């Protein structure tokens, strides 16, 4: 994994009287090979922050550095290539293709990029995620937790430097949430992955090594090695 850093990050939507300061000066270090949760109330700027860190959205001012790369210095094509090769995404809604098997879903991004899979890595991931006997199943034949584990495997298959998970347990019950969070934590512990998760659920944030609290577009606090009580 790699570290990511935001320095003096601002994001203004709209203009004139309709201006919204979604980010009002964020300074933040996401540590390499660690699990960081970004928490905060609805509308506090979590998604905007994540999109700026992931190179999906451009900040109004300030800097994002992922590893040794300044995102602001990249062209649109370079940013797209950066996301495709170095960033993994996990979504609340899984975003699996229904007509493909678990295995085909996991391999799809590499297929599209014309990259040969590293089968040793594939086997390791499948083992860590407990998906070995589910590879031939289609999404509808899998539980919610299994579908999200497939989505996690898909995100990790290209060995991204950093993985962004946007409310990954938002559609899961508490038991399957725990399952997915445990696997995200294992991918950090056992594979050295850097994972950034946006969540509003204290029970989810308690799995992270670090919790960054965002309020009104600013970093309002930071907790290291949090327990659920700390987060609440
Ligand atoms: P969160 O993820 O914490 O709910 P967001 O980052 O989605 O917060 O939103 C932060 C603020 O920016 C909110 O006031 C939201 O309404 C505003 N906002 C987000 N996206 C847009 C957009 N595309 N256009 C205008 N305002 C936006
Ligand atoms: P392209 O299709 O040109 O590669 P995109 O910007 O469409 O570039 O997507 C690049 C990556 O970002 C893909 O993995 C896609 O799933 C992800 N992505 C696109 N839009 C969003 C979004 N709003 N939130 C999170 N991830 C996104």
pLDDT band at 91 (very low <50, low <70, confident <90, very high): confident
pLDDT of residue 103: 98
- Mean per-residue pLDDT, 74-103: 92
CA of 49, nearest ligand number: 1
pLDDT above 90: residue 64: yes
Distance 16 CA to ligand 1 centre (A): 17
What's the whole-number mean pLDDT along residues 72-100?
92
Distance CA 177, CA 62 (A): 34
Band of pLDDT at residue 230, cut at 50, 70 and 90: confident
- Position of tokens 């086997």? 123
Is residue 19 exposed (0-12), middle (13-18) or buried (19+ Cβ within 10 Å)?
exposed
Q: What is the pLDDT of residue 221?
A: 94
Q: Is the CB of 48 under 6 A from ligand 1?
A: yes
Q: Is pLDDT of 232 > 80?
A: no
Cβ neighbours for 167, distance < 8 A, ≥ 6 positions apart = 92, 198, 199, 200
228 CA to centre of ligand 2 in angstroms: 32
Mean pLDDT value across residues 190-217:
93
d(CA 65, CA 71): 6
* For residue 74, pLDDT beyond 70: yes
Q: What is the mean pLDDT of residues 188-208?
A: 92
Sorted by sequence, the CB contacts under 8 Å of residue 113 that are 6+ apart come out as 84, 85, 158
CA gap 56, 84 in Å, rounded: 11
The pLDDT of residue 134 is 97
Q: Mean pLDDT, to the nearest integer, of 16-32?
A: 95
Question: Residue 108 corresponds to which tokens in the numbers above?
Answer: 């799809």
Q: Within a 13 Å sphere around the CA of 119, how many CA atoms are in the beta-carbon half?
A: 0
pTM, two decimals, is 0.85
Read off the pLDDT of each residue in 5-19 and give the average, rounded to a whole number: 94
> Which listed ligand is nearest to 24 at the C-alpha?
1
Residue 199 makes CB contacts below 8 A (sequence gap 6+) with: 37, 38, 39, 167, 168, 169, 170, 205
For ligand 2, mutation pick of 51, 80, 97, 166 (most atoms within 8 Å of CB)? 80
Mean pLDDT in the chain? 92
């Amino acid at each position: 994994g790699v570290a990511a850093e935001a320095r003096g990050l601002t994001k203004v939507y709209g203009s004139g009287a309709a201006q919204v300061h979604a980010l009002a000066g964020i300074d933040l270090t996401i540590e390499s090979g660690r699990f960081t949760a970004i928490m905060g109330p609805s509308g506090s700027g979590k998604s905007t922050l994540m999109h700026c860190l992931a190179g999906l959205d451009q900040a109004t001012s300030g800097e994002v550095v992922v590893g040794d790369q300044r995102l602001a210095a990249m062209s649109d094509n370079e940013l797209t290539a950066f996301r495709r090769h170095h960033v993994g995404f996990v979504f609340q809604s899984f975003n699996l293709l229904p007509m493909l098997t678990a295995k085909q879903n996991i391999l799809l991004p590499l297929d599209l990029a014309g990259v040969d899979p590293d089968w040793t890595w594939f086997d390791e991931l499948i083992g860590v995620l407990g998906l070995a006997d589910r590879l031939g199943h289609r999404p509808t034949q899998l539980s919610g937790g299994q579908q999200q584990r497939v989505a996690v495997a898909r995100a990790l298959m290209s060995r991204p430097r950093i993985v962004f998970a946007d409310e990954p347990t938002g559609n899961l019950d508490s038991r399957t949430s725990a399952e997915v969070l445990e696997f995200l934590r294992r991918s950090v512990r056992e594979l050295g992955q850097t994972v950034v998760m946006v969540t509003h659920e204290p029970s989810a944030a308690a799995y992270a090594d670090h919790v960054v609290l965002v309020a009104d577009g600013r970093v309002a606090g930071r907790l290291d090695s949090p327990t659920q009580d700390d987060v609440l």
